Chain A
Amino acid sequence: MTTPTSPAPTADIDIHRLTALADVMLPAAHGMPAVSEVKAVESYLPQVLGWRKDLHQPLVRAVDALDPSLFSIDRLSALHEEDEDAYVALTTAVAACYYLSPVVRELIGYPGQAAKTYDPFAYTEWVAEGLLDPVVDRGPIWREVPG
């Protein structure tokens, strides 16, 4: 089983329209940029749809169904009711594009699921420090059974 990694064509999706919708979902606020400011949709949507081909058609439906000039977060909830697959495709694609942006990752302090090294014997320090002592001092909590 492999996951396709090549970008998917997105000619049937109006990128400007999707970006306008995404800017309502993730606007500039609280020190974070809007989706359009980091060019998240245009930069990453082909890759996201390459990874998740199943999102493509429901995303087309979502973009067709929502008018950016009238779009609000309340309308997003209505889409959830009307076409759940389209809602899932829209929220997943927009969020995935946004949080793939290195600018956004830097701002939230997320390096990805990185490998780390550690000392497997460091536990001796917190054992020596007495962190477990209260637990041990209370004694066994399991129940003896007959037979």
Chain B
Amino acid sequence: MTYRADVLIIGAGASGGVAARHLAEHGFDVVCLEQGDWPDRSAFPGARPDWELAIRKDWAMSPNVRNRPEDYPVVHDDSDIEPLMYNAVGGSMIIYAGTWPRMLPSDFRVRTMDGVADDWPIAHSDLVPYYNAIDQQIGVSGLAGDPAYPPHDDYPLPPLPLGAAGRRVAEGHNRLGWHWWPEPNAILSAPYDGRRPCVQRGVCTSGCAEGAKASTDLTHWPKATAAGARLITGARVSRITIDPRGLATGAVWLDRSGVEHHQEADVVILAANAIGTARLLLLSADDRHCPDGLANSSGLVGRRLMMHPFSVVTGWWDDQVEGWQGHFGASITSYQFYETDPDREFVRGAKWALSPVGGPLNHILPMRAGNEVWGRDHHELMGRTFGRGASWAIFGEDLPEEPNRVDLDPVRTDSHGIPAPRVSYRISDHSRRLMAFQEARAEESLRASGCRETAVASMIPYSGWHLMGTARMGNDSASSVVNSRQQAHDVPNLYIADASVFVTSSGVNPTCTITALALRTADLLVQHRSEQKVPA
């Protein structure tokens, strides 16, 4: 007899973990299929001498560079930004920086406020209860009262250390009269919920061996499975199945040996990131019901991909600040140039986050700002800069454009022979103006903070951590894929919990909002369970 779950979740990352825990704790029978495995923290490279070598290969953020069995290739020959992700329980939270900013009220109303893109069908106030709840679940370190935000609940933990660099830049901004605030981070500053605090090793983006940085393998999955959720790893989904009424019935998946299985469910939740989710919807095309892809009557599945153009501006002081150390994560943030100013040649803005700059290899083989110098001058450069710098990491708001998209590559496949996603993406002229302005201001910031020299790495290609927008939310089924509950217009028992549903990108790191939206979606599913249409 075939086993049918109440809910099938595809993907065990940020949104999948949050949804699974909430649903399981509210009595739902949950099954999750995850193509990766449980992360093995003893294999994380941050405390090892080969750390800076590992992050260029086995621990690269690009699945194409890592090329592990659980990764699928992402074709990006026609993209200005390389998509980055991690496939495991915990998802890309394993390699994210851990900064935890909320979106702002204006982020949900960019059409109304600034005349561009579209408004969201929900408001910032709709998410506030979920932001507050997620902060407690995750264990966020921060300081309430930031005047860049509406007042909200205090964070559960005190802010992480400013560090020498953070302190200097804070003082510099005070001299300029510019905003700064200690960055909220999903990184523990003190013991919390059985987890240990951050030790300031500065290796967050290659996995936190301490378990101080939140990821759902730590914060949600143990509680979800304790509540009865079943998590199947090494399970690669090839398509979502539908019945003659157009309702989702489950998903076909392949185990590590390539053996095909079918998991039935009353409700399917996609939580596979904005590339993986779009890929699966397109792979689930059916000649009779949805020839252009599942839930795609609007034609928008895969379109409006947003990735946040990303620049780094590094400054160097005359003396040591132990610039390789800290949390990564960010010590301080600035929203001075976040909101629209009509005197500028662009609308919207960017968020800045001050971060460490890595060890010696990152100085001489820079992945961000800096120069590769050999010969006698190498030692002069190292003496002048090593340990003396900090970087503003700048995320600019990326406005949605339909030509920026994910579709299926006609040739390349993953290791199971399933067509790979293909990304076509161009940084717009608007984004280029926005980022040029921000880069120049960031150099001013660092000089005002006492830096002797600065360097700009403008719109770095290797920066596509923030994947958003490929199945947008909206009230009109002709111009959106899911409604405000993140329920597919075309398939009423199919939900999308990840950042595919973002209408616009904001200018902040998205994981905080992804998890708040996932919690809201799961919560509304609980509230409306008696009305939920399910297959016969």
Contact = CB atoms under 8 A, between A and B. Distances in A.
A127 B182 CA distance: 11
A122 interface: yes
Contact of B112 (A76, A99, A145): A145
A interface secondary structure, majority? loop
A113 B51 contact: yes
Contacts of B76: none
A66 interface: no
Interface in B164-211: 167, 170-171, 173-174, 177, 179-182, 189-190, 197, 199-203, 210
Nearest to A144: B105
Contacts of A52: 50, 53, 56-57
A99 B105 CA distance: 47
A147 B112 CA distance: 10
Contact of B177 (A117, A131, A136, A138): A138
B147 A141 contact: yes
A131 B379 contact: no
B375 A73 contact: yes
A1 B145 CA distance: 42
A3 interface: yes
Interface string B118-161: 00000110000000000000000101010111100000011111
Interface in B28-47: 40, 43, 45-47
B378 interface: yes
Given A91-B365, A96-B52, A114 B325 contact: yes
B359 interface: yes
A135 B149 CA distance: 12
B106 A143 contact: yes
6 contacts: A31-B383, A51-B53, A96-B361, A109-B320, A140-B147, A143-B105
Interface of A: 1-3, 5, 24-27, 29-32, 47-48, 51-52, 54, 73, 76, 91-92, 95-96, 99-100, 108-110, 112-118, 120-123, 126-127, 131-132, 134-136, 138-147
Interface of B: 40, 43, 45-54, 56-58, 68, 104-106, 108-109, 112-113, 123-124, 141, 143, 145, 147-150, 157-162, 167, 170-171, 173-174, 177, 179-182, 189-190, 197, 199-203, 210, 320, 324-325, 335-336, 338-340, 359-361, 364-365, 372, 374-376, 378-380, 382-383, 386-387
